[in-house]
Structure 1
Amino acid sequence: MADFRFSYNVFGIRSLAEFTDTCRRAESLGYDTVFAADHLGAPSPFPVLVAAAQATERLRVGTLVLNTAFWNPALLARDIATTDLLTEGRLEVGLGAGHMKWEFDEAGLPWQPFSERAERLRTTIAELTRHFSVEGFEQQREHNAEFDVPVLKPAQRTGFDGSGPPLLIGGTGDRVLRIAAETADIIGVAGVRQLPGHPPGTFRLCTAEEADERVAFTRQAAGDRADQVEWQVLVQAVIPTDDRRAAATELLPRFGDTMTLEQILDTPFLLIGTPEQIADQLHRNRTRYGFTYYSVHGPFMEAFAPVLPHLATTAD
């Protein structure tokens, strides 16, 4: 079975010093990757990733995930290539279709049906692949030759049909997971679903059975690729406790009538218990779903850290 990898995503930044100290702390704790999201009100992802890489020695960096509707593919290709070069090939590119309508409204961008946003994701991947594959722009070749200007291309040649950094696609719906199955090096199975009848971006947590179904759907769509890709999951909360059932009972009001107590205890998108119990849960999840790449929200980075030593040296 594949080895585990661990990551956390950045919620906010107060200062360069505090941010870089946190990155170095994560590296010392055994984390493999720091992710930046792509939301209004959150830090701009690419400068965050460059700063994180410069502050650390081995920590990989990535986007979890870029909202492709926010980006022009040609300009995004430029930012990805630049960031991959400046991080010395430590970048992982996570892409998604976007889901927060208010962000589109605030940015003055049209809110499109999900089918159109998913298609935008697919065409963006194709455009990025094209940009990474060609030797720059014809209009610049004479200038570049005269001044010995290198063609701007990513340092890595793993994702995007071997032309760019590893590609992570994250989502829950059929369209996005089908795109992930066809194109991604890392498939992220999101742990939330839109609540029917509520504003876009109003979610509920998925159950273990729904995760079974989503993984089965994606594996079928991936075919022979299913055992070649990495399976990533974003954990919504990490709750250290000696009494799992009592802690889960306290969580029940947060989920209203969307989950039962047993579903809270069983879902792979919540980690509740002692470090040993959570490690056991991750082993079971790896067998059940194939999840090996775990991401936690930044506020839970320290809470999850004691679990890592229980998993870092296992090779079963």
Structure 2
Amino acid sequence: MPSHPRPFRFGVQCSSPPEVDARSWAALARRLEDLGVHRMTVSDHLDDQLAPIASLMAAADATTTLRLGALVLCNDYRHPVVMAKEAATLDVLSDGRFELGLGAGWMTSDYLQAGIPFDPAPERIARLEEAITIVRGLFSGEPVTFAGDHYRVDGMTGSPAPRQSPLPLLVGGGGRKVLELAGRHADIVGLNPRLPGGVIDASVGPDATAAATERKLGWVRAAAGDRFAELEIQTRIHLVAITDDRRGTADALAEGFGLSPDEALASPHALCGTPEQVADDLEERRERFGISAIGLSLGDLDAMEPVIARLAGT
């Protein structure tokens, strides 16, 4: 864990905005920038949401300092050579504000509806690690030759070169194999509950506890070795309840997530209470876990504005 806490950086996942047109999207990006949000992110699913690369480029054109993140691009939808070119181009045209999130894929409906084979997790994660090796190599500007179990590249040089060196890479998840991969390769490690069923439902609760988070950080730390102190630790907040009745709300909601009220209040993936209590929880979690990057849903932005105003950049 860093000897000094990293500043809080808030990200907002904006994949499915209430209005889908150029003017509204640009206005949303400028609002995030004005509020002190660090990064605007878009996920990568094949259902009713915006496509990540085009939407992030449009957000870049509307802003000057807001960082743009893919949270996360699914490796199984793109060859890594194509992905590297898209990412580098976006980084150049955004003046060095892109953050590349890569994932092994998890949402079964995407695969089933699109007819894409949904291989077992170990195979998808091994393929992701090969892809990261290729993408990083193409970002270097040196010729890349790679022969793995999933990809072959023969003397290709990446072009254009990204504006940032290195271009930040985020990898996240909830399982041991993908978090160890993140520890070996990522600059930003995203912590999430495990999603073995390919959906987010009540079954994920027991893997969203503080104890589960400690265990996951242990995997990341062991895989990262000496570079662990340099990593930014991110978590995705799946439930925000701004309320004056913190305990009553926890009592009412916890059972539906398979948690006790105390476990629910301590989960790094949920926030409950007044804005002051929520800010205090985030500070305590940064101290305990090193979590400084907070990923929010767009639907929670209004409720979280006071918290962002208090903590962003501190």
Q: TM-score, normalised by structure 1?
A: 0.87
C-alpha distance in 2, partners of 1:151/1:76? 12
Residues 194 and 12 of structure 1, relative CA distance in 2, 3 Å threshold: closer
How far has the Cα of 1:252 moved from its partner? 3.2
Q: Which has the larger radius of gyration?
A: 1
Q: What SS does the aligned partner of 1:17 have? A: helix
Residue number among 70, 80, 96 corresponding to 1:73 in the alignment: 80
Is 2:227 aligned against 1:221? no
Structure 2 counterparts to residues 1-316 of structure 1, below 5 A: 1-13=5-17, 14-41=20-47, 42-134=49-141, 151-158=159-166, 165-190=167-192, 192-194=193-195, 199-203=197-201, 204-205=204-205, 206-252=208-254, 254-255=256-257, 258-312=258-312, 314=314
Deviation at 1:249, TM superposition (A): 2.2
Q: Distance in 2 between matches of 1:215 and 1:313?
A: 23
In structure 2, relative to structure 1, the CA distance for the partners of 1:313 and 1:69 (3 Å cut) is closer
Q: Give SS of 1:292's match.
A: strand
* Alpha-carbon shift at residue 193 of structure 1 (Å): 2.2
Distance in 2 of aligned mates of 1:193 and 1:187: 14
Change (3 A) 1:210 1:44: same
SS in 2 for 1:79: helix
Amino acid at match of 2:104: A
Structure 1, unpaired ranges of 5+: 138-149, 159-164
CA contact 2:39–2:67 (8 Å) conserved in 1: yes
Is the 1:81–1:154 Cα contact (8 Å) retained in structure 2?
yes
Q: For structure 2, list consecutive stretches of 5 or more residues without a partner in the other structure.
A: 145-157
8 Å contact kept, 1:136–1:151: no
3-state DSSP of counterpart to 1:308:
helix
TM-score of the aligned structures, taking structure 2 as reference length: 0.88
Whole-angstrom CA distance in 2 between matches of 1:124 and 1:292: 27
- Report the more deviating stretch, 215-224 or 168-177: 215-224
Alignment check: 8 A CA contact 1:169 1:188 kept: yes
1:34 CA displacement: 0.2
Offset at 1:237? 1.8
Deviation string, structure 1 residues 204-224 (Cα, Å, up to 9, x no partner): 131111111111221122111
RMSD between aligned residues: 1.7
What is the count of residue pairs matched by the alignment?
A: 290
Q: Per-residue deviation at 1:134? A: 3.1
Cα pair 2:125 2:177 within 8 Å, conserved: yes
Q: Is the 8 A contact 2:246 2:272 kept in 1?
A: yes
In 2, Cα distance between the equivalents of 1:240 and 1:247? Answer: 9
- The equivalent residue for 1:142 is none
Percent of aligned pairs with the same residue?
A: 37
Q: Secondary structure at the match of 1:310?
A: helix
Equivalent residues of 2:141, 2:159 under 8 A apart? no
Q: Is the 8 A contact 1:9 1:34 kept in 2?
A: yes
Q: 1:297 and 1:217 mapped to 2: Cα distance?
A: 27
CA offsets per residue over residues 161-206 of structure 1, 9 Å max, x none? Answer: xxxx10000111111111110111111111x2236xxx43354131
Mean Cα deviation higher: 7-16 or 78-87: 7-16
Deviations 1:64-116 (A, max 9, x none): 01111111111111111111111110000011111112211222211100000
Question: In 1, are the aligned partners of 2:173 and 2:194 still within 8 Å (CA)?
Answer: no
SS at match of 2:291: coil
Give the secondary structure class of the aligned counterpart of 2:165. coil
